[in-house]
């Protein structure tokens, strides 16, 4: 199962999930001059980052919005980036956050688990209800794919809906966590986690311990490290024997070349050093 592969990657290479949320504005001007087509520019920037970090990350997360915003050229770069990662034997999470009724979800599942945009795992929004997740289950159970439904996110707007309390006194994200963990029992790997994971931001340390107890079978994708204010101490409550989660950093790595401590380094060399620093930071907790 895909979760066993990801678990092993974390054992071997650490918890870093490198986010290729690549904005054109992140790319150094000098590098941009070498490419006329946007698709070539984006892909080759990503390729340099991947080549320099492949031995120090457990997986890559590619946020589709940065590519969709650039039309066909952007989606060509998105396709080529996913393909390059998978051809190199690495795991890729497509950060697409889909959530819709069954017939539409059937098409989203086909789009992101096969064909030009095939990924190993994808993010989903379950807030239309868990029937919106059902169309993806065939791929999870039969085609070595995985999903990360949003549970509790790291943005301030999480309090608008996710923290609302029900009549029973439970918060909305607590109920989503319970349902996600229960659904995950249908797709358990030998590592003790399910291929149905969950997205949990690391910027809310206060309820982390209880949330992890609820999500006992759930492998986590944790955003919020670095640029969003989270650090190793916020991540620690979610890990079990230094596994059970991958921690995403996007801007913190892609823009590392702008940091004073990496002055004079190429963007890819700076990305490597920042990736290793983050990996060691997480390994040290």
97, 110, 179, 236: which is the annotated catalytic residue? Answer: 97
Look-up of token digits 């209880």: 210
Q: How far apart are CA 80 and CA 241, in angstroms?
A: 35
User: At which residue do the structure tokens 């060509």 appear?
Assistant: 76
DSSP secondary structure string, 60-123? EEEETHHHHTTHHHHHHHHHHHHHHHHHTT--EEEEEEE---HHHHHHHHHHHHSGGG--SEEE
Active site (annotated) includes residue 97: yes
Cα 210 from chain centroid?
Answer: 22
Number of alpha carbons in the 13 Å side-chain half-sphere of residue 87: 9
278 touches 16 (CB < 8 A) = yes
Nearest to 246 by CA among 228, 224, 267: 224
Distance CA 195, CA 5 (A): 10
Contact 82, 55 (CB under 8 A): no
The pair phi, psi for residue 23, each rounded to 5°, is: -90, 145
Residue with tokens 């989203």: 108
Residues annotated as part of the active site: 97
């Amino acid at each position: 199962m895909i979760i066993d592969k990801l678990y092993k990657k974390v054992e071997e290479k650490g918890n870093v999930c490198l986010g290729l949320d690549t904005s054109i504005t992140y790319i150094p001007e000098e590098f941009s001059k070498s490419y006329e087509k946007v698709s070539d520019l984006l892909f080759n920037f990503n390729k340099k980052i991947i080549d320099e970090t492949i031995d120090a990350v457990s997986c890559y997360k590619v946020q589709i919005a940065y590519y969709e915003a650039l039309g066909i050229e952007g989606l060509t770069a998105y396709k080529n980036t996913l393909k390059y990662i998978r051809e190199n034997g690495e795991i890729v999470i497509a950060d697409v956050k889909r959530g819709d009724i069954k017939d539409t979800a059937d098409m989203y599942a086909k789009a992101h688990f096969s064909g030009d945009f095939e990924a190993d795992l994808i993010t989903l929004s379950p807030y239309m209800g868990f029937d919106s997740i059902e169309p993806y289950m065939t791929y999870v159970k039969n085609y070595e794919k995985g999903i990360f439904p949003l549970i509790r996110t790291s943005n301030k707007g999480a309090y608008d809906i996710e923290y609302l309390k029900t009549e029973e006194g439970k918060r909305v994200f607590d109920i989503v966590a319970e349902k996600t963990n229960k659904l995950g029992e249908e797709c358990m790997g030998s590592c003790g986690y399910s291929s149905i994971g969950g997205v949990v931001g690391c910027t809310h340390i206060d309820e982390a311990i209880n949330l992890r107890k609820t999500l006992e079978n759930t492998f986590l994708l944790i955003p919020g490290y670095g640029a969003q204010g989270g650090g190793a101490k916020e991540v620690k409550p979610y890990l079990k024997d230094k596994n059970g989660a991958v921690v995403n950093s996007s801007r913190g790595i892609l823009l590392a070349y702008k940091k004073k401590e990496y002055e004079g380094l190429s963007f890819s060399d700076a990305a490597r050093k920042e990736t290793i620093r983050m990996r060691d930071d997480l390994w040290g907790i």
